[in-house]
Amino acid sequence: MYLFNTLGRRRVPFDPREPGKVAMYVCGPTVQAAPHLGHGRAAVVFDVVARYLRWRGYEVTYVRNVTDVDDKIIATALAEGVSTDEVVARSYAAFSEAFARLRVEPPTVEPWATHHIPEMIELIERLVETGHAYAAGGDVYFSVRSFADYGKLSGRDLDELLSGARIAPGDHKRDPLDFALWKAAKEGEPSWPSPWGPGRPGWHIECSAMARRYLGDGFDIHGGGQDLVFPHHENEIAQAEAATGKPFARYWLHNGMVNLGGEKMAKSTGHVVDLLGALDRWDPLAVRLFYLRTHYRKPIEFTEEALADAEASLRRLWAFRRRVDAVEATPDREVLDRFIAAMDDDFDVAGALAVVFEAVREGNRRLDAGEDVGGIAAAYDEVVGVLGLAEEVAAVTIPDTLAARFGTEATVDALVARREEARRARDWATADAIRDALAEVGIVVEDTPHGARWHRR
């Protein structure tokens, strides 16, 4: 299995810290506002990474944090005249709902920043003790120049960074490159006691502290959006490695951005497509497929056509599976092997999807020929399950009035049977009327040589 490691910018063999086990940490959302399409991508991408690794037999510990203390949360609360807790609760609920609808499995651990202040303080203390950090005016800063490896992830050169660096008013930095580990409390802000006085953690320290808390040093995979490479992940490495002298994370994976009109979606500029809104408008799994059909490291452009396209592709997949009843066969080995070959190559989901579509075509062909498709259908269930794209078969209820019109019970099966009866009698008018009536309540009926089949929408 090969991964593209941002650290080193190369495709390298994946070799976990402990055989058979994978420890991974992914930067989760700052619960400040409603999620947009970009947040969904990161969640789905790493969901598939975790699902796939588990499917391949690894015992995966997946940690995805929640950042619940931050400048913008405070600003939003202030602007709306509500508590920060309220802003956090509202945003967290929206993220959770969106992720669930995208069929993102919950991580093994979902640590909240504010529940890990002691771990952060401890890490900061170690940095101060070892001379990598200094307190100034109630703040504590990381001394970037004290960490020789600074820039190794993002490929930055300290002297070139200088031009962009700045010291904001009120900072007590000794060097413009330094960044805050701890910020002294200001009036009306949430704060916690610390050796440097009341305050709150800087953004970067939480991830270093929580990743170490749950996964230890030298854990396997650290993921996040490409926009976090610098400075966030660079800083995480600096803090953790300066404090411990040990490697922090071994493989760094970064997902590409979701663009809108050629430009990255960004919360700060309001240049976004609301995620929950999109999930209302399109099938959530079509949104999931929209994310998945492009390699995770590439940017994707949001367009309505792209979503419609994904929906059509999904329907093709699902239509095949509906043609097959219960599957108890052994999954087709070739399909599985080709799927694995694609996924093992830095999670080439697009390539893996091609395998699925080819299997579907072969399956349909065999069904048309009256041949057995058990192995293919079983393989389909395996791989589509790993990708989280299987159709959800929900219970269907229809109004009694509809059934009454055609003199039958209020079940889809009863109406379909009634229609079959009409068809046998060559009563096309009744047959079509039933089909139309079912269509109005979202049921599609299709005739096959072996009788009618129906499905939702």
Partner RNA sequence: GGCGACGUGGCCGAGUGGUUAGGCAAGGGUCUGCAAAACCCUGUACCCGGGUUCGAUUCCCGGCGUCGCCUCCA
Q: Which of residues 77-116 bind RNA (CB under 7 A)?
A: none
Q: What are phi and psi of 353, to 5 degrees?
A: -65, -35
Quick check: 55 and 18 in contact, CB under 8 A? no
Q: Does 38 bind RNA (CB under 7 A)?
A: yes
What is the helix (H) or strand (E) element at residue 429, kind and residue range? helix 428-440
Closest CA to 58 of 25, 26, 24: 24
Closest CA to 37 of 261, 222, 233: 261
The secondary structure of 201-259 as a DSSP string is: E-HHHHHHHHHHHHH-TTEEEEEEEGGGIIIIIHHHHHHHHHHHSS--EEEEEEEPPEE
Question: Of the listed pieces 47-55, 110-118, 401-409, 427-435, which binds RNA according to CB under 7 A?
Answer: 427-435
Taking the complex as a whole, the smallest distance from the CB of residue 443 to RNA amounts, in Å, to 12
Taking the complex as a whole, the smallest distance from the CB of residue 342 to RNA amounts, in Å, to 7
CB closer to RNA out of 17 and 152: 152
DSSP state of 345: B
CA angle (113 as vertex; 111, 114 as ends), nearest 5:
115
CB closer to RNA out of 80 and 263: 263
Measured CA to CA, the distance from residue 331 to residue 421 in angstroms comes to: 37
Count, residues near RNA per rule CB under 7 A: 91
Q: Which of residues 391-420 bind RNA (CB under 7 A)?
A: none
Question: Of the listed pieces 192-200, 241-249, 363-371, 380-388, which binds RNA according to CB under 7 A?
Answer: 363-371
Q: Does 294 bind RNA (CB under 7 A)?
A: yes
Taking the complex as a whole, the smallest distance from the CB of residue 18 to RNA amounts, in Å, to 26
Q: Which tokens in the block code for residue 95?
A: 């993220």
Closest CA to 211 of 105, 62, 106, 68: 62
Q: Does 371 bind RNA (CB under 7 A)?
A: no
CB closer to RNA out of 12 and 319: 319
Q: Which of residues 222-251 bind RNA (CB under 7 A)?
A: 224-232
CB closer to RNA out of 38 and 375: 38
The single residue among 99, 203, 251, 282 that binds RNA, judged by CB under 7 A, is: 203
CB closer to RNA out of 17 and 354: 354
The single residue among 3, 22, 30, 236 that binds RNA, judged by CB under 7 A, is: 30
Closest CA to 349 of 307, 392, 386: 386
Place of tokens 């809108």: 260
Taking the complex as a whole, the smallest distance from the CB of residue 12 to RNA amounts, in Å, to 14
The single residue among 122, 175, 334, 345 that binds RNA, judged by CB under 7 A, is: 345
Q: Which of residues 251-280 bind RNA (CB under 7 A)?
A: 255-259, 262-268
